[in-house]
Chains A and B, each alone.
Chain A
Amino acid sequence: MNELEAKEEIRLIQEMIEKTRQSTAESGTLYFFWGIWIILAIIGNYVLVWLEKYDWIWINWVAFVLIGMAYSAFYSIRQEKKQATATYAQIAARYLAMACAVGFVLFGLVFPLLKVYSWEVIPPFIAVIAGIELFGVGGIYEWNLLKWSGAFWWIVSLAMLWVPANFRTLAFVPVIIVAYLLPGWVLRSNYQKSASRNDT
């Protein structure tokens, strides 16, 4: 073996690893889904406030979260079956997403329903967990856009403290558009480009 052959073998190894990394990139579908789904839940929340059906607000959230989680589980299982490979990065990101989902349910629904704290502090807690999820996934896949989105959610969690309690949930709408739907759209666009490259 000479140096040229050794370099050629290293190049082949790098090419294969990169090819695998690209072909298993995140599609962004669930970011899209959750962004829109939570905006719909927020609209439902304020419609119920406007109708003065305060007892129904929790039911609205429980229903949206349960349906959303059922769809996410269904989508993830279907995707897993379709995928020809399973990278360690994907597995780590999946477990992080599941851990954050448990965090959302506990901090957003269970603890307030058990009167551990008032509903007014739910939005900052939710923003912290959203930040952990996006920053963590951004770190796993080395996507700066997601890391920045995660950091933005943490800033939002602090800023929420200065927003009047009744408007905190509403304030989520622009944040979801900027720091959840936008990264989801970019991921989706990158995924589609990568998929079309792999097809050719």
Chain B
Amino acid sequence: MTPEKFPPLDPVIHSQIRLAVLSILVSVKKAEFNYLRDAAGTTDGNLSTHLSKLEQEGYISVKKSFKGKKPLTTCSLTEKGRTAFSKYIKTLEDYIHFEKT
């Protein structure tokens, strides 16, 4: 296989923050906004933008509720997101294997 024949990397996932978010969500049932922000090492505003993009594409679902009196945003991976993430990793692995050979 030549590099041109590799499927292109999903542009929705191909961003450091969005990739970090999906990597966390793939191993959890749900994660709170603050946890994602701290783990991804970003700011509230930046994370909100990336989450909106992922939500628009149907890769994650975002639920807004309250924890006591404070607003709480919880994110979880959708089936579409899980499939897209698996595909993304497969492409990355194929790429690394190709470069090695």
Listed in ascending order, the chain A residues whose CB lies under 8 Å from chain B are 1-3, 6-7, 9-10, 12-13, 16-17, 19-21, 23-24, 81, 84-88, 91
Nearest Cβ distance between residue B51 and chain A, in whole angstroms? Answer: 15
Q: Check B23 against A13 for contact (C-beta < 8 Å).
A: yes
Q: Check B99 against A3 for contact (C-beta < 8 Å).
A: yes
Residues of chain A with a CB closer than 8 A to B95's CB: 1, 3, 6
Partner pick for B24 among A1, A16, A88, CB 8 A cutoff: A16
Closest 9 A/B residue pairs (Cβ): A84-B35, A16-B23, A3-B99, A84-B32, A13-B23, A85-B31, A86-B29, A85-B28, A6-B95
Partner pick for B23 among A3, A17, A24, A87, CB 8 A cutoff: A17
Q: Check A20 against B92 for contact (C-beta < 8 Å).
A: no
Residues of chain B with a CB closer than 8 A to A7's CB: 96
Contact-residue size bin, chain B (C-beta under 8 Å from the other chain):
20 to 34
- Cα A24 to Cα B30 in complex, Å, equals 12
Q: Is the interface of A mostly helix, strand, loop or mixed?
A: helix
Known: A9-B19, A12-B16, A13-B19. A87 touches B92 (CB 8 A): no
26 contacts between A and B (CB under 8 A): A1-B9, A3-B99, A3-B100, A6-B92, A10-B89, A10-B93, A12-B16, A12-B19, A12-B20, A13-B19, A16-B20, A16-B39, A19-B39, A20-B24, A20-B27, A20-B28, A20-B39, A23-B39, A81-B67, A84-B35, A85-B28, A85-B32, A86-B28, A86-B30, A87-B27, A88-B28
Nearest Cβ distance between residue B11 and chain A, in whole angstroms? Answer: 12
Q: Check B28 against A87 for contact (C-beta < 8 Å).
A: yes
Q: Is B26 an interface residue (CB 8 A)?
A: yes
Q: Which B residues from 68 to 90 make CB contacts under 8 A with A?
A: 89
- Cα A107 to Cα B59 in complex, Å, equals 45
Residue of A nearest to B31 (CB): A85
Residues of chain B with a CB closer than 8 A to A1's CB: 9, 95
Residues of chain A with a CB closer than 8 A to B29's CB: 86-88, 91
Q: Is B34 an interface residue (CB 8 A)?
A: yes
Nearest Cβ distance between residue A187 and chain B, in whole angstroms? Answer: 20
Nearest Cβ distance between residue B2 and chain A, in whole angstroms? Answer: 14
5 more contacts with CB within 8 A, not counting A6-B99, A20-B24, A85-B28, are A6-B95, A6-B96, A12-B19, A24-B28, A87-B29
